[in-house]
Amino acid sequence: MRKNDIKNFLTNHRSRIDPRSYGFSTLNRRVKGLRREEVAQLAAVSVSWYTWLEQGREISISPAAIKRIGKVLQLSTTEQEYLEALVFGKNNILQINSTLPAEVIAMVDALNPHPAFVRRANMDIIYWNDAAKTLFFDWSNMPQEDRNSLKLMFICEDYRTRIHEWEKAARHTISAFRAYYAASNKAQEFESVIDDLLARSEDFRIMWNYHDVSKMGAGNKTIIDVNGKVNSFTYTSLEVENSPGMYLIFYMAR
């Protein structure tokens, strides 16, 4: 899968580049975006070497060359980190902690009436407060194996109808999942989510092939409650320092 991830990520992102931004003509062009030889030229690597990189072959790769390729493809910082994780792996592999500290439980409860919940890097939801249950979704109604933010986006119609601008939100969730996935060095906890969704959702199969990458961080989210009322929130994602791969997500009404 690593070879396909590298190939699909690079070909997808070079297809997004307007050749004219680098002074290349768009006439008589069979492919969208930059050609392989153009990326190689701009990144100061050989065409054969870049071709082998896209094919996921075992070749000698320097961090400097990968950074030059990322610059040519106009990758964001997060996208560059993702590419490097695919190519080089991670020395500090993201671990998913299975134990929820009592202090984190107390913190989530104390944040009520503001919605808050805890999820793992693979998007498994493992704890939530009453406000999250009331205003967002009652995860306890789902089988435990489906209590996952990414899964619910695609397999639960009730959850899906609660999300304002669902497609935009779904693509953002996938892009964050992909970043965590690379940092995990393709851990089984992530693979099982991907395999399940590939089998159960056509929408996921389509969006997974976009190869977007981003981080959750902080932002805005709009939720439609059970009464049809639209509620807008800001959110912040905080990693639990002594439990790597575990995040507390806090929402505040705008």
Give the pLDDT confidence of 114-155 residue by residue, as tens digits.
Answer: 999 999 999 999 999 999 999 999 999 999 999 999 999 999
CB 197 within 8 A of CB 150: yes
Residues spanned by the domain of 124: 102-253
Q: Check pLDDT > 70 for residue 86.
A: yes
What whole-number distance in Å separates Cα of residue 115 and Cα of residue 134? 9
Looking at residues 208-233, what average pLDDT do you find? 86
CB 35 within 8 A of CB 79: no
The CATH number that applies at residue 46 is 1.10.260.40
The residue written with tokens 């999300």 in the block is: 163
What whole-number distance in Å separates Cα of residue 176 and Cα of residue 212? 8
User: Same structural domain for residues 109 and 176?
Assistant: yes
The reported pLDDT for the residue numbered 91 is 47
Which of 66, 88, 110 is where one domain is finished? 88
Does residue 128 sit within a domain? yes
Instruction: Answer whether 0.75 is exceeded by the pTM.
Output: no
Distance of CA 50 to the CA centre of its chain: 25
User: Same structural domain for residues 58 and 130?
Assistant: no
Q: Which residue has the higher pLDDT, 22 or 56?
A: 22
